[in-house]
Amino acid sequence: MFGSNKTIIGIYLSRKGCLTYTQAMLSQLQDQQLALVVTKENAPLFQREYNTYTLLTARGKLEHLLRSLTVQKKIDNLVEQLIKTYGSIEFYFPAFHPWNLNFIKAAQKNYLVTSLTIHDYKTHSGEQSALVESYQKKMIRLSDRVIFLTDYVRQQAIAEMGDDEKYEVIPHPLIQSTEKQNLEHSTTPSLLFLGRGVAYKGLDLLLSVIDELPINKLTIAGKQNRPITTKHSKLNITDRHLEEAEVGKLLATHHILVLPYLDASQSGVLTLGISANIPMVITKVGGLQEQLPPNAALWVEPTRASLKAGLLQLINEPETYTRLKTALRAHT
């Protein structure tokens, strides 16, 4: 994937964003010499497996602005240290952070190769940021290699920036669930919504139909951006970041994983569903259909009527439930 005779320096400065993707990608680079630059907060997540170097990042906008005034010099010094330590190196950026651009500039000064993963070329509804998109375009122009997780996102970049031979698609790696789902079909299933409750993930769409479904419960698990005020006797909410084992347990104890996204580039949650072998109802948006064969999920439109119909089909048709589980096993 990268230069075989070089040390790969992974740069992960995000707080928790794209963490599971980063961990999955790094695990695929175990046959190469690898070191990481991470935040002091995240260093404990990686330092048992990798040589780590820490960089102090910022929590608020004002703090970020103040530290950005001096960060280029600190990064230049760190890059010099990495070159002295490892000799031939190249940089890999698995997740967005504004200071990735500072590392790319430092790499150019030292004639180093840089590879960049773009998760979302266009920021999602409810999270739109012209500033983030501007940073990403600069990074795309300056990087030697640009990795997209779906062709859907690659085409978005091509439409605005033109095609480039340095663009390539490497699909989102499968995130392994700690447990498998072995539940039989149920006419009163437990539904699971997993992940951040941001607008584009369609949680409100899902909540709008649960009163009309014969379910045992709906579990919403993951840090929510706002309080969930919906009153429902069958609603179970875990509003916090989840440990890996907790996610595996949830996948193993629910019948159906629901991804009611309104727009999407790709989804790590979807790859967890594949790994856990849990039947999924997924909206046909963005690059999601590139991640899974058509027969391995029940695909619906991002509308109330279509989502309700899809869930009822899976609830009322045991043969569809069994077919999806069989197709998922063939995909892993």
**Are 269 and 164 part of one and the same domain?**
no
Q: Is 254 among the domain residues?
A: yes
- In this structure, the answer to whether residues 196 and 296 fall within a common structural domain is yes
Determine how many CB atoms are found less than 10 A away from the CB of residue 283.
25
With respect to residue 177, please indicate whether it lies within any of the assigned structural domains: no
Q: Say if residue 187's pLDDT is above 80.
A: yes
Report how far residue 269's alpha carbon sits from residue 273's, in angstroms, rounded to the nearest whole number. 6
User: Do both 70 and 205 map to the same domain?
Assistant: no
Measured CA to CA, the distance from residue 82 to residue 172 in angstroms comes to: 28
pLDDT of residue 1: 63
Task: Tell me which of 169, 200, 227 is where a domain ends.
Answer: 169
In total, how many domains does the chain have? Answer: 2
Q: Which residues pair with 89 in a beta bridge?
A: 7
Statement to judge: residues 91 and 120 lie in one domain: yes
Q: Are residues 138 and 251 in the same domain?
A: no
| 139 located within any domain | yes
Pair of tokens at residue 202: 């369609």
Q: Give the global pTM.
A: 0.91
Q: How far apart are CA 218 and CA 256, in angstroms?
A: 10
Residue 212 belongs to what domain range? 190-331
DSSP state string for 213-279: S--SEEEEES--SS------TTEEEE-S---HHHHHHHHHT-SEEEE--SS-S--HHHHHHHHHT--
Q: Give the domain CATH number at 30.
A: 3.40.50.2000
- 201 and 59 within one domain: no
Are 160 and 12 in a shared domain? yes
Q: Name the band, by pLDDT with cuts 50, 70 and 90, for residue 3.
A: low
Asked whether residue 247 falls in the same domain as residue 298, the answer is: yes
274: its two tokens: 């594949």
179 within a domain of the structure (yes/no):
no
Q: Helix (H) and strand (E) counts for the chain?
A: 11, 13
Of the three residues 169, 199, 228, the one that is the final residue of a domain is 169
Question: pLDDT tens digits for 24-78?
Answer: 999 888 778 999 999 999 999 998 899 999 988 766 667 677 777 789 999 999 9
Q: Does the structure show a pLDDT above 80 at 279?
A: yes
The stretch 294-313 carries a mean pLDDT of 97
pLDDT at 225 over 90: no
